[in-house]
Structure 1
């Protein structure tokens, strides 16, 4: 098992790619801090089921990405546990499909608030834990929209591009402490986010991939598992595209 007896923190675990990551990391023996935006019975039952199935510890963590006070309280709780943290996966995020001329200031600010500012600050807090232990892997979930400039993705893509730039700087600054930082840039992936896109846009995206299909959440989760594990011990500051050859 790739993550046996290691501890991982994953944000946005309640569904989609985050839920797939939860299962993948637990399958490989990781103990997990599993973040969700709000506490609910379904999520608590889900993590209990996965915990028992794979014989690992899973601790729920709740906060809204825009509530920095709640975020700090969650970090304090994690620090109080005094467990060495081996990997952080910043998966939580929101999407927006809006033409450049039609995107409001409020929409633009919310994209950056959730997809970039909250990730930046949260990573600052968690990196302090990793620096103490002189090891750790930070994995940020960006998007191919952060590199490709897709129509209708100016705000979303810009927030994800900022995440890529941050990741490369973090890798350069923290590398000497034994901490690695990388991005995963998924292409079109079969999650609830597809529901925000028209059928024509989805089919065009699939046709534009060499594999002629959307990716699955499990395929993104496996890339994160690789970057968190010792198999990628000499990989840092990179953007790994998981896009079917788009």
Structure 2
């Protein structure tokens, strides 16, 4: 899983899964440009020896410009990881149009826009890999996550089509669907032993993903080690979604 000499853009790179992905991509030898609206990303990317661009992925023109500028500075673009996203849990009958629009703009539209921008560059070069971060909610969700699950399901479906649109030009597109992962919010919640035990119970091995484990899965999909995968969805949830009823929030 060597990415030596390559250049990879990671969105939502300032924290959580995005930071784990950026760290592992750097460890695999690639140059990284991290995109995030959080200004803290500048210091965190600097620690990794990576570049940082502050941008809100919900603003299409700014997102395209950031990708094109990153390509121009690096002189190449070999990979894109569309990680930026938000989630809310709202009872279905209370879900507002504004909340639906916000989730769609950040979670799904940004993936489409960024993939188009990067896809044009990669297709012209005849090589590249796109990894779209979805979620196991695309296949096994629960009440209160209807709009979030819809955006993640859309990412999986869109990526399947992208594989045929970009594949003839040497560009692969796959999704990575993590389950429960130790982001900053989850780590804080797990300080409560009851929460920690509950979260671990959702996985077959009684463990919770680390962001670096998810990052290594992203590196695999970016690398030639996954050359046979195109249009695939790699579910990294420690079997969480394979057992019906393991996380029934109606009983929470």
> TM-score scaled to structure 2, two decimals?
0.87
The answer (yes or no) to whether the contact 2:68–2:117 under 8 Å persists in 1 is: no
1:1-246, aligned counterparts within 5 Å? 2-38=2-38, 40=39, 42-51=40-49, 58-81=50-73, 83-194=75-186, 204-246=198-240
Q: Deviations over 1:14-70 (max 9, x none)?
A: 1111111111111111111111114x3x4323222221xxxxxx2212211222232
Deviation at 1:204, TM superposition (A): 4.6
Structure 1 residues 187, 35: closer, same or farther in 2, change over 3 A?
Answer: same
Q: Following the alignment from structure 1 to structure 2, what is the Cα–Cα distance between the partners of residues 9 and 213?
A: 29
SS in 2 for 1:148: coil
SS in 1 for 2:53: strand
The answer (yes or no) to whether the contact 1:97–1:196 under 8 Å persists in 2 is: no
Moved over 4 A (4+): 195-205
Deviation at 1:137, TM superposition (A): 0.6
Structure 1 residues 223, 151: closer, same or farther in 2, change over 3 A?
Answer: same
Gaps of 5+ in 1: 52-57
> TM-score scaled to structure 1, two decimals?
0.89
C-alpha root-mean-square deviation of aligned residues, in Å?
2.2
Gaps of 5+ in 2: 241-252
Aligned length: 238
